[in-house]
Amino acid sequence: MTELDWHAERSDLEGLAQLDRAPTEEIDLVAVRTYRQSRVRAEMSKRGIAAVILSDPVNIRYATGTRNMQVFSARNAPSRYLLMTADRAILHEFTGAEHLGEGFETVDEVRPARTASFVAAGPHIADRERAWAADIADTIAELVGPGATVGVERLNAGTAIALAEQGLCMADAQEPVEMARAIKSPEEMKCVIASLRATEVGVAKLRAAIRPGLTEAQLWSVLHKSVIEQNGDYIETRLLNAGARTNPWYQETGDNVIGENELIALDTDVVGCHGYYADFSRTFHSGPDKPTATQRELYRTAYEQVHHNMSILRPGMSFRDYADAAWDIPEKYYAHRYYLSAHGCGMTGEYPYLYHHGDFPSAGYDGEILPGMTLCVESFIGEEGGKEGVKLEQQVLVTETGIELLSQFPFEESLL
């Protein structure tokens, strides 16, 4: 596919709605939302959890389809939260924004949130937290009876303590929600594909804009602009680096000026269309000359790791067996290895984490790779003390018989 073809790749995007609840010809969003909510309720039931209180904005969006100030809500919890039982979903929406939760078949009632944070309550925070907990406990008692088991996640310490003091049996909601999110429906996969195709358009524009003399931030902004104008949400990390800042990985995008003949490594981490994660990595070359032999070796090595690890993925495989069969990282690249071999991907990065063989004893856990999981297979290759590194990553769907490649952005022939 040529560069012009990538810029013209818009046919999959033209029908996307401006709001998640708006109807589209391509995606049945009602089916997406009702499937996701039923998944959460099924996982709650397996664990004897009568109600969950969700304040992570991504989890609220997963369970209901509603969104409001996602980044703000993530760092000001609980400023909006969802109380959900087996047959009732009450969205407590940020004050003045209650209208945003109206009209969703996944929301039975919208109430104003009682923000229980120090910023909102100041020195009266303890009183606010107790009042918040009493209000929630009263509602839970009405819906499922007193002393119920309640799952919680992103609450501040005071609200969690106050809730426990109400006589509820507290549980962690992370497990049921993560297990629910791990398996995608066919209709949900259309949202994943839409987000990927939109992100690929943005990465093509970024690639076309590469030239020595730009700062990393100037180049990275090309992707931001494209994501937002296609109604994506935001980019979760700042992972675009050039030259010596490509090794080790995890140096945030800054004002470093891109030089001639440097590698430029990018991890998209886009929370894109319909709130779904488009997560693939590519490494480019700034020119004007051809890549060096060392640059090509780094790139080919990362390419080999990603493709080997994709080739061994299969439904029914245990996480431990995957780690044992995964690509063996050469010693000279081991110190700067990417911390994961692969990870789940949905509305953000999610369960499961698949670890390298050497990291499994200390960090790994077992489980089963299942059809319907979307996984991102990762590689970072850079020598300890080396000048540059290469980041590559592919996003795949686990099917009944193997895997389906989701991310379609091409690799760099000049580096292969």
Q: What would the pLDDT profile of 253-277 be if each residue is shown by its tens digit?
A: 999 999 999 999 999 999 999 999 9
- Residue with the bigger pLDDT between 377 and 77: it is 377
Which region holds residue 334: left if phi is over 0, alpha if psi is between -120 and 50, else beta?
alpha
CB 44 within 8 A of CB 151: yes
CB 132 within 8 A of CB 159: yes
Integer Cα distance of 403 and 315 in angstroms:
8
* Sign for the pseudo-dihedral over CA of 18, 29, 225, 252: positive
Question: Of 292, 186, 276, which Cα lies nearest the Cα of 243?
Answer: 292
CATH 3.40.350.10 applies to domain 29-181: yes
pLDDT attached to residue 2: 37
Residue range 168-188: average pLDDT?
97
Q: What angle do CA 27, 276, 372 make, to 5 degrees?
A: 75
pLDDT in tens, 73-116: 988 878 899 999 999 999 999 999 999 999 999 999 999 999 88
* Whether the predicted pLDDT of 227 surpasses 90: yes
Percentage of the chain beyond pLDDT 70 is 94
Residue range 53-68: average pLDDT?
97
pLDDT attached to residue 25: 53
pLDDT attached to residue 5: 37
CB 91 within 8 A of CB 109: yes
Residue range 129-143: average pLDDT?
96
SS3 of residue 266 by DSSP: strand
Average pLDDT, the chain: 93
pLDDT attached to residue 175: 97
- Residue with the bigger pLDDT between 20 and 216: it is 216
Radius of gyration in angstroms for the set of CA atoms belonging to the chain, rounded to a whole number: 23
Instruction: State the burial class of residue 91 (Cβ atoms within 10 Å of its Cβ: 0-12, 13-18, 19+).
Output: buried
- Biggest CA–CA distance in the chain, Å, is 71
Residue range 208-234: average pLDDT?
97
CB 215 within 8 A of CB 249: no
148 alpha carbon, distance to own chain's centre = 31
382 alpha carbon, distance to own chain's centre = 25
pLDDT attached to residue 321: 98
Element (H, E) at 138: helix 125-144
CATH 3.40.350.10 segments of the chain: 29-181
pLDDT attached to residue 23: 40
Per the document, the length of the chain is 416
Q: What angle do CA 142, 146, 152 make, to 5 degrees?
A: 90
Question: Of 66, 27, 106, 35, which Cα lies nearest the Cα of 372?
Answer: 35
CATH 3.90.230.10 applies to domain 183-405: yes
Residue 207 contacts by C-beta under 8 Å, 6 or more apart in sequence?
3, 282, 284
Query: What amino acid occupies position 239?
Result: L
pLDDT in tens, 10-41: 333 333 233 344 444 589 999 999 999 999 99
- Strand boundaries in 16-76, DSSP class E: 51-54
CB 260 within 8 A of CB 292: no
Inter-axis angle of helices 186-209 and 216-229, nearest 10: 140
Percentage of the chain beyond pLDDT 90 is 88
Structural tokens at position 46 = 């397996």
State how far the alpha carbon of 9 is from the alpha carbons of 25, 196, 230, in Å. 18, 12, 12
With cut-offs at 50, 70 and 90, classify the pLDDT of residue 118. confident
CATH 3.90.230.10 segments of the chain: 183-405
Integer Cα distance of 185 and 61 in angstroms:
16
